[in-house]
Structure 1
């Protein structure tokens, strides 16, 4: 009779992505993911809702809808359903690429119904082409992937720096108090990473956010009064702001946004594949793109905006070394709860920007560092590869270095050019093909294919 314990010993250990951690750790680590992305989830509905002139209760409704749909999209990406979802620690939320076009649609008189109508059409088109778009992954060898990941990290690092100063446009921007709090949180995270062991080391960012918020209370930088002013329960219903309107100009603008988000989702999917050590080929990318666009379609019905991956969470995976997709799935569940129970969302929203900024510098820097690590061996193949990286990074950084650089370009073109990640990706792919010709594309299974990473990358 075979000993079942011997059979269990012979079974291969699950990949870290599929590892199921104890419930307490899973929830705690999932909450850490949510705290790092919360501001990015609520910012688009706040901006667009304010542009639409929504009163306080309706604005809160729009935010709650964004939280619920971001959580649902994250659950779809991490757990997967049929051919939808990459089944990796992939966090989704409303994309910033759509904010400016949506504000323009609102100001043109179309209002939120025109925004949701255009988003619905563009998301359905994106869903229809997701499988075809995924075939482009063969043009993302490590040279391109490393460049794009580095660009992602450098692009979002600006957000962390602005948070550290108090948030763009804040009355107390860059005061010594804000900077001291931000760098205090950053230093605390570094010390925990250096000296803590085991589980404590993996929640360094969460501990930094909690300690920083506690310190901010006597400094007058945070306010919990909103927790008692919001409704105890918030349920989002289809087409709350009216039946969708289908205006051609708005649809064209959102179709361009959809192309940008497809490109950004591709870049982020390749980035998370590199970080967790699991190959991302056309099949995996197609699942990620389908989940992205399907979630955007449903979001358009339930009063939320188009979804895309959140790069800051890739940095958190890199920093902590915790690669379990079930941790991020738990975070998706927390997002849904925050949307259904607004007081919880208000509690998280009380974390002051400098505290988020201190953590953000570490997280976003980790994304850039991951890209640089990927570029290391790739740059040793061909002297022309340095040109590919240099030009792609240079062009991709233009919107970050000089935000008004493309101001006189046509509006439709600006939607693409103002996304440094999207335009940098296009330049990297094009130059790689130009300089490397047939060797530019990495064939599936090739050791140079994106996502084929040595498994001992993390401790």
Structure 2
């Protein structure tokens, strides 16, 4: 009897590797928490940057951080369990506040105020959402080699994010200090050792283990600032419309363009997750639902005074590394985010996680996305056509954006969208090449055929 019970429990725990299997709640929570810890700092960082550019005070910023957790949780649940069968992918995608919009929103906010940001996000999100619903009419432009190139670019673009976190956070006073190196290295080594020596499904909690060990070490090294916990309310309901919306045409056009870029990243993330987590190609319906969720939940985010939301590539990397794809398991993380939005103390505690600890965990996850992209390119095949599309889009996208001055002759809007966004450049170049290159570049030239005869 005991052996049968143990076997049954083991089978249910093993459902973490299936989309819809039942997993015991106590087993699911650690995996959900692992996803939240992996994205938490990146979820609130865009708000801190844009809020600072708009001159928001600490109280206003705290309200937006609270809303960010709530919206991220809601968006993740919608991705996991689609609304009306159309809004959401049904895949284990974790949503969060997008970094892609930081530059343009900082510019719009500084020029027109935070209300103009909210108006532009509301309109832009609706447009992306509608494009998602009708994706079947244009998604065929995004061939497998285009998606593979975009996924690879996403991975490469995140490597600097992981490195900056490893060093203690870009712009921090002690960036690259010995203390940050110690935290990052210890966290990374703990992740690797736990993944190597842990048994069964426990090894998939290597990131959570590394975060816990790194956090404890940071506390011992007096590198955790608990001052933000003082005066934090135990419970608070996020406010609706904390800012009065304004609708500026030029701001709306600029933000809509970035929404199109965000949609390409979502296509790449969705493709990467299906390929690396489920071992198959993404379906048209899943891609359509993922984009629609991106857009409509971003519009909802603006109602709470928050920034646009998107799929988080670091969590795609976590799925690729652990192969944990169970929707209920990821949903526990979404519920944790919603609770963090209702209980500010919980979110404030998570916010004390040092950047170096996060960097030690994420650097391998981001590398996993690069590998997933390369595997997708390999699956497409190395025909002359595919090689030209992948090689040229990646070389131009990754190379030109390292030299932002190359874009100096273009209008400011073009610079804002492309100058430092390698994913956008890779996408545009790959799409153009996919449209203009002949389908069979390796066919013999007619003259060669005649000579052969």
Q: TM-score, normalised by structure 2?
A: 0.89
After the TM superposition, which residues 86-101 of structure 1 pair with which residues of structure 2 at under 5 Å, given as runs?
Answer: 86-101=89-104
Tell me, in whole angstroms, the C-alpha distance in 1 between the residues paired with 2:332 and 2:401.
Answer: 33
More divergent stretch after superposition (176-185 vs 314-323): 176-185
Tell me, in whole angstroms, the C-alpha distance in 1 between the residues paired with 2:196 and 2:401.
Answer: 32
Could you tell me how far 1:69 is from its partner in structure 2? 0.7
1:378 corresponds to 2:396: no
- 2:385/2:439 contact within 8 Å kept: no
More divergent stretch after superposition (307-316 vs 15-24): 15-24
Tell me, in whole angstroms, the C-alpha distance in 2 between the residues paired with 1:345 and 1:408.
Answer: 44
Q: 2:160 aligns with which of 140, 158, 161?
A: 158
After superposition, give the CA deviation of every residue in 1:186-235 in whole Å (9 maximum; x if it has no partner): 11111111111123201000000010010111222212232233122221
2:44 corresponding residue in structure 1: 42
2:109 corresponding residue in structure 1: 106
2:30 corresponding residue in structure 1: 28
SS of residue in 1 equivalent to 2:55: coil
- 2:16/2:329 contact within 8 Å kept: no
Tell me, in whole angstroms, the C-alpha distance in 1 between the residues paired with 2:299 and 2:190.
Answer: 41
After the TM superposition, which residues 304-453 of structure 1 pair with which residues of structure 2 at under 5 Å, given as runs?
Answer: 304-380=306-382, 382-398=383-399, 401-417=402-418, 418-437=420-439
SS of residue in 2 equivalent to 1:409: coil
Q: Which runs of 5+ in 1 are unaligned?
A: 1-12, 440-459
Tell me, in whole angstroms, the C-alpha distance in 2 between the residues paired with 1:56 and 1:392.
Answer: 42
Residues 237 and 164 of structure 1: is their aligned pair in 2 closer, same or farther, counting only changes over 3 Å? same
Tell me, in whole angstroms, the C-alpha distance in 1 between the residues paired with 2:90 and 2:223.
Answer: 38
SS of residue in 2 equivalent to 1:105: helix
Residues 281 and 293 of structure 1: is their aligned pair in 2 closer, same or farther, counting only changes over 3 Å? same
Q: TM-score, normalised by structure 1?
A: 0.88
Instruction: Give the alignment's Cα RMSD to 1 decimal.
Output: 2.1
After the TM superposition, which residues 273-312 of structure 1 pair with which residues of structure 2 at under 5 Å, given as runs?
Answer: 273-275=274-276, 276-312=278-314
Size of the aligned set, in residue pairs, is 425
1:71 corresponds to 2:73: yes
Residues 220 and 81 of structure 1: is their aligned pair in 2 closer, same or farther, counting only changes over 3 Å? same
SS of residue in 2 equivalent to 1:93: strand
Residues 201 and 302 of structure 1: is their aligned pair in 2 closer, same or farther, counting only changes over 3 Å? same
More divergent stretch after superposition (129-138 vs 89-98): 129-138
Tell me, in whole angstroms, the C-alpha distance in 1 between the residues paired with 2:121 and 2:416.
Answer: 15
Q: Which runs of 5+ in 2 are unaligned?
A: 1-14, 442-453
Residues 92 and 22 of structure 1: is their aligned pair in 2 closer, same or farther, counting only changes over 3 Å? same
1:235 corresponding residue in structure 2: 237
1:9 corresponding residue in structure 2: none
After superposition, give the CA deviation of every residue in 1:291-340 in whole Å (9 maximum; x if it has no partner): 11110111111111111111000100011111112222221111111111
2:449 corresponding residue in structure 1: none
1:4 corresponding residue in structure 2: none
- 2:147/2:267 contact within 8 Å kept: no
- 2:32/2:332 contact within 8 Å kept: yes
SS of residue in 1 equivalent to 2:134: helix
1:117 corresponds to 2:119: yes
SS of residue in 2 equivalent to 1:169: coil
2:203 corresponding residue in structure 1: 201
- 1:260/1:419 contact within 8 Å kept: no
2:3 corresponding residue in structure 1: none
Residues 134 and 327 of structure 1: is their aligned pair in 2 closer, same or farther, counting only changes over 3 Å? farther
Tell me, in whole angstroms, the C-alpha distance in 1 between the residues paired with 2:256 and 2:399.
Answer: 23
Tell me, in whole angstroms, the C-alpha distance in 1 between the residues paired with 2:56 and 2:16.
Answer: 49
1:215 corresponding residue in structure 2: 217
